[in-house]
Amino acid sequence: EPEVTQTPSHQVTQMGQEVILRCVPISNHLYFYWYRQILGQKVEFLVSFYNNEISEKSEIFDDQFSVERPDGSNFTLKIRSTKLEDSAMYFCASRRGGRTFFGQGTRLTVV
């Protein structure tokens, strides 16, 4: 079965630092997403990306966040200046048709 790949699996960063979370979606998929799950809470939608632009974003996805697909394969989420409350599991997902595939997640810990 095809897979969405995320790196790194765990990232520890100091508050105020920039982090980039990387994802390789499934190659023939057209829609890409980032979700996050704060420990003990529900999985929350952050942003969707289609045709090289953001198609929808949540209230969480403020100016500190950005996404890009620089080379047609990688799909990255950047947090410019991390805050303690950004600590969460971040899931990348891709979709073609009716099925969304999720990556294994990157656990981000902000200290």
Task: For residue 84, report the phi and psi dihedrals to the nearest 5 degrees.
Answer: -55, -40
Residue nearer to another protein on the CB measure, 50 or 85: 50
Residue nearer to another protein on the CB measure, 24 or 43: 43
Apex 46 CA angle, 105 and 5, nearest 5: 25
CB of 97 to another protein, least distance (A): 9
Residue nearer to another protein on the CB measure, 5 or 81: 5
CB of 111 to another protein, least distance (A): 22
The contact set with another protein (CB under 8 A) reads 4, 31, 33, 35, 41-45, 48, 55-56, 58, 91, 98-105
Q: Which of 65, 69, 60, 79 is nearest to 31 (CA)?
A: 69
d(CA 13, CA 29): 31
